[in-house]
Amino acid sequence: MTVLITGASSGIGESLAVKYAMEGHPLIITARNKDRLDVLASTLIKRYGVAVTAIESDLSSKGSALKLFNKITQSGLTVEVLINNAGVGLFGEFHKTDMEKEEAMIQLNITSLTELTKLFGREMVKKGEGKVLNIASTAAFFPGPLMSVYYASKAYVKSFSHALSNEWREHGVQVSVLCPGPTGTGFKDAAELGDSKLFQKGIMSVEAVTEHAYKEFTEGKEEIIPGAMNRIQTRFGKFISSKKAASIVRKTQERV
């Protein structure tokens, strides 16, 4: 099975690429950072002997998802497993944050993810087989003061994934959603979280998240939440009001 992973130059995306290469799967890896992609591709080819195609793609720009799809299909490659991992966050009070950054976030976290899922998913449905893993977050379960657009974008990914799982199951296509909590990746710096309390404790390693995600995705689980504490917190959120949840989340987001 050929696996397409977006945002594969670092973090969970890179770790998943390594895991799938270890298991012998051909890969298509994409990200904005072509240099890092090329290094990763070269390493995986030498270490595991798998075919790896690296494609530079900035999915935060309009039309980029279709360009990526066309480039892959015109190369004669077929995607059996789509992993929509690329995503970004932004910290700050909504009235103070940069609108252009938020528009780019929505394009990346929501629009490009949706477009890639439709473009590659159509082909999977036609064939009667395929797998999609969308990367959301435990943020999907709560309102997120100080990261309002990011939390809302991940709620979209979670809801969208569950709906598609229901639609496409009868066509032989699996759709799962991964909801990791705080993870030891470069996300904190990219999201300008600085010394937020959110990353002061309870951080899972990217390797632990990857192992959990790979196992449960392979087993066909629809909603994947790595880490016992993360599972407890998301369940707890179902029993409190949105107002209370927002208050709790804000306290965890605030600077130390």
In this predicted model, what pLDDT tens digit does every residue of 162-178 receive, in sequence order?
A: 999 999 999 999 999 99
Do the beta carbons of residue 127 and residue 79 sit within 8 Å?
no
How does residue 223 score in pLDDT terms, banded at 50, 70 and 90? very high
147 vs 76, 99, 101, 182, 201, CA distance in Å?
40, 13, 12, 14, 19
Identify which of 34, 77, 83, 26 has the alpha carbon closest to the alpha carbon of residue 55.
34
Q: In the predicted model, what is the mean pLDDT of residues 136-154?
A: 97
pLDDT per position as a tens digit, 15-47: 999 999 999 999 999 999 999 999 999 999 999
Distances (CA, A) of 176 to 57, 152, 168, 185: 23, 19, 11, 22
Using pLDDT thresholds of 50, 70 and 90, give the confidence band for residue 188: very low
Point out the least confidently predicted range of 53-57, 58-62, 189-193, 198-202.
189-193
Average pLDDT over residues 68-78: 97
Chain mean position to CA 209: 12
Q: Are 60 and 53 in contact (CB under 8 A)?
A: no
Q: What value does the mean pLDDT take over residues 219-234?
A: 96
pLDDT on residue 199: 46
Instruction: At 132, give phi and psi (nearest 5°).
Output: -130, 130
Q: Are the C-beta atoms of residues 204 and 180 closer than 8 Å to each other?
A: yes
Given pLDDT bands bounded at 50, 70 and 90, which one contains residue 185? low
Kindly tell me if the per-residue pLDDT of 139 is higher than 50. Answer: yes
Given a cut of 60, is residue 159 above it in pLDDT? yes
In the prediction, which pLDDT does 236 show? 86
Task: Parse the chain into domains and list their residue ranges.
Answer: 3-253
Q: Give the Å distances, CA to CA, from 198 to 113, 155, 195, 201, 203.
A: 26, 18, 8, 7, 9
> Residue range 206-232: average pLDDT?
97
Residue 191 or residue 150, greater confidence: 150
Point out the least confidently predicted range of 85-89, 96-100, 236-240: 236-240
Domain 3-253 has CATH 3.40.50.720: yes
**CA 64 to each of CA 8, 60, 61, 138: distance values in angstroms, whole numbers, following the listed order:** 16, 8, 6, 27
- How remote is the C-alpha of 183 from its chain's centroid? 12
Give the Cβ contact number of residue 11 at 10 Å: 22
